[in-house]
Structure 1
Amino acid sequence: MTDTLDAIIVLVTAPTADKAAELARTLVEEELAACGNVVPGLRSIYRWEGKVHDEPEALLILKSRAPLFEALRARVVALHPYQCPEVLRLGVEAGHAPYLQWIRDNVRASGGGA
């Protein structure tokens, strides 16, 4: 994996667009993510504690780097209001090289502490 191809996408659902934006701002300020896109108007149908729920949510799409995933995941879990938040890592196989470099330039150099 080259330095610019260690980019990842991390999906996080949140109860509201405002909460997703709050998470995004914190993660970008802490240089765990280069960018966070908030997609409001999500409708999630899921099973939790034996019941089927149908709830409005927002989707947060984060751009980061593979070495930072565990630190990012831990921070989302610490900040998130859900007992079991969605934090899914997706690899990026290819992309526009300048954008991938922009991600790299706007996050921490490694997965180390704050």
Structure 2
Amino acid sequence: MNTPDQSATPHGAVVIICNCPDAAVADRLAAGLVEARLVACVNRLAPVRSTYRWEGRIETAEEVPLLAKTTLAAYAAVEEWLSTHHPYTLPEIIALPVAAGLPAYLAWLGNEVNP
């Protein structure tokens, strides 16, 4: 587990990207993260085509991306939860810092997350 730099975002908000193999898995993971209060909100995006190298071969697959809004303080718990509940052997779990945002939204986000 890689702990993000706490100074990366002064308000503590991050967006976690995680691709899923289908809509059912995306729905299950999104609901589980919100129910566990690890994230404030998850957007399930339209399916995308992903191309990547896996076990020496170039693969192409349709995936459903998730954008989960949470805090740096909760990142480690989100990573652990997703690693446990995601069906992929090696799921994409990456956090991007939020450079700025509506202060009221960022306050709501922080109040909804309990790592």
Matching of residue 105 in structure 1 with residue 111 in structure 2? yes
> Which residue, out of 43, 54, 76, partners 1:48?
54
1:15 matched to 2:54: no
CA RMSD of aligned residues (A): 1.4
8 Å contact kept, 1:4–1:104: no
TM-score (norm 2): 0.89
What's the CA shift string for 1:37-81, capped at 9, x where partnerless? 001221100000000011100000000000010010000000000
**2:103 maps to 1:92:** no
Q: Which runs of 4+ in 1 moved over 3 A?
A: none
On the 8 A contact 1:16/1:40 being kept in 2, the answer is no
- Paired positions, count: 108
Measured in 1, the distance between the counterparts of 2:58 and 2:103 equals: 43
Q: Secondary structure at the match of 2:38?
A: coil
Cα distance in 2 between the residues matched to 1:18 and 1:95? 30
Separation (CA, whole Å) in 2 of partners of 1:51 and 1:66 = 34
2:26 paired with 1:28: no
Q: Which runs of 5+ in 1 are unaligned?
A: none
Alpha-carbon distance between aligned partners in 2 of 1:34 and 1:4, rounded to the nearest angstrom: 18
- Confirm or deny: 8 A CA contact 1:7 1:92 kept in the other structure: yes
Superposed displacement of residue 4, structure 1:
7.3
**TM-score for both structures, normalised by structure 1:** 0.90
